[in-house]
Amino acid sequence: AQSVTQLDSHVSVSEGTPVLLRCNYSSSYSPSLFWYVQHPNKGLQLLLKYTSAATLVKGINGFEAEFKKSETSFHLTKPSAHMSDAAEYFCVVSVLNTGFQKLVFGTGTRLLVSP
């Protein structure tokens, strides 16, 4: 079965330092992978998606992720954190299910950014 595992429940960084949010996936075929962000009391916003094109995917707000098949990983990075990046981040795999693609979410990583 397709699934994702987010390795850290919380990540704390200082403003201006790099961000690394880790995600490993399990899939029996080439997966479609996404990162979504959720700010408090808000819905989910798509940051970026991987669908078997380039392995390095650039998203919004300076985020990017690299698909590494050999490591079954899809880690999210950003060179320099901003205070506004503080939020919950979800790694997501898309699963083909009876004619539609169902999103399966990881448990989330809360990113804390300190001044």
Partner 1 sequence: GAGVSQSPRYKVAKRGQDVALRCDPISGHVSLFWYQQALGQGPEFLTYFQNEAQLDKSGLPSDRFFAERPEGSVSTLKIQRTQQEDSAVYLCASSQLQGGYSNQPQHFGDGTRLSIL
For 19, 25, 59, 67, the CA distances from 14, given in Å and listed in that order, are 9, 28, 21, 26
CA–CA gap between residue 102 and residue 43 (Å, rounded): 18
CA–CA gap between residue 112 and residue 11 (Å, rounded): 6
Q: How far is CA 22 from the centre of its chain?
A: 8
Q: How far is CA 106 from the centre of its chain?
A: 9
Residue 60 engages partner 1 in binding (rule: CB under 8 A): no
Task: State whether residue 85 is helix, strand or coil.
Answer: helix
Residue 40 engages partner 1 in binding (rule: CB under 8 A): no
Q: Cβ of residue 63: shortest distance to partner 1, in angstroms?
A: 15
Residue from 41, 56, 70, 115 binding partner 1 (CB under 8 A): 41
Residue 12 engages partner 1 in binding (rule: CB under 8 A): no
In terms of CB distance, is 15 or 88 closer to partner 1?
88
Residue from 12, 51, 55, 80 binding partner 1 (CB under 8 A): 51
Residue 78 engages partner 1 in binding (rule: CB under 8 A): no
Q: How many residues bind partner 1 (CB under 8 A)?
A: 26
Residues near partner 1 (CB under 8 A) are 32, 34, 36, 41-46, 49, 51, 90, 94, 96-108
